[in-house]
Homo-oligomer: A and B are copies of this chain.
Amino acid sequence: MAEIPHRRGAPMPGAEVLAEPLRSRWSPSVFDPAHVVGREQVVALIRAAQWAPSCGNAQPWHLVVAERGDATHDLLVARLSRGNAGWVPRASLVLVVGAQVAPDDRGEGGTKPAHAEYDAGQAAAHVTLQARAMGLHAHQFAGFDRTGLAADLGAPPWVRLLAGIAVGVPGDLDDVPERDREREHRVRRRRPAEQWVHAGSWGTPWPGLEP
């Protein structure tokens, strides 16, 4: 079944047990370029990041709001990798995620980079799931000139840009080139849990996974 080419709503074996909004989360690559995310929805996405957990409550995350058509969005689009330049600009909104990886110029903030990036990932996951709960979809990407965009924005050296979260609603598959449409047909694959869930000693799968 996982081998059957699909459009949307691809099989997610094992995900039947998940609660919403995790259950129906997926990353579209064909967004509706006419859809606009309301400001109150953007605020809710920001609140989702704000109330994410973090190591020592450091809250090391930053977001840059790029709404399709505004000046921030123009800066982002100019920095997209070739592979992302087709699909990302169609999304209603991009939230660029950064992490404070060192203390600022007053010596404040900045946990170890590993924690900052882990916690920025948590905040991004909260944004993504809040989007889904509001009827939106989100697709994260890292393929852009992150140091170039940081310079464009004037981001300080203690912040590292990590990813973008493209947010919107799915668009018409017939409205994009084959190259972009192809992404929506990909079979969704995940590593078997036996390869990455350990117990007792590394490489010994947790026995509860046995059928």
Contacts and interface: CB of A to CB of B under 8 A. Distances in A.
A14 B51 contact: yes
A202 B63 contact: no
Contact of A51 (B12, B39, B208): B12
Interface residues of A, number: 79
- How many protomers of this protein does the assembly include? 2
B117 A118 contact: yes
Contacts of A20: 133
A42 B114 contact: no
Contacts of A14: 47, 50-51
Nearest to A47: B14
A176 interface: no
Contacts of A115: 142, 162
A89 B112 CA distance: 25
Interface in A9-49: 12, 14-15, 17-22, 25, 27, 39-40, 42-44, 46-48
B202 A130 contact: no
29 contacts: A18-B48, A18-B130, A19-B133, A22-B48, A22-B129, A22-B133, A42-B206, A43-B209, A46-B197, A50-B191, A51-B190, A52-B125, A55-B140, A57-B189, A63-B196, A65-B197, A65-B199, A72-B200, A117-B117, A117-B118, A117-B121, A118-B120, A120-B121, A121-B121, A125-B126, A129-B129, A153-B201, A154-B203, A155-B202
Given A19-B21, A72-B200, 11 more contacts: A15-B50, A46-B197, A59-B191, A63-B198, A65-B197, A70-B199, A70-B200, A71-B200, A113-B117, A121-B124, A121-B125
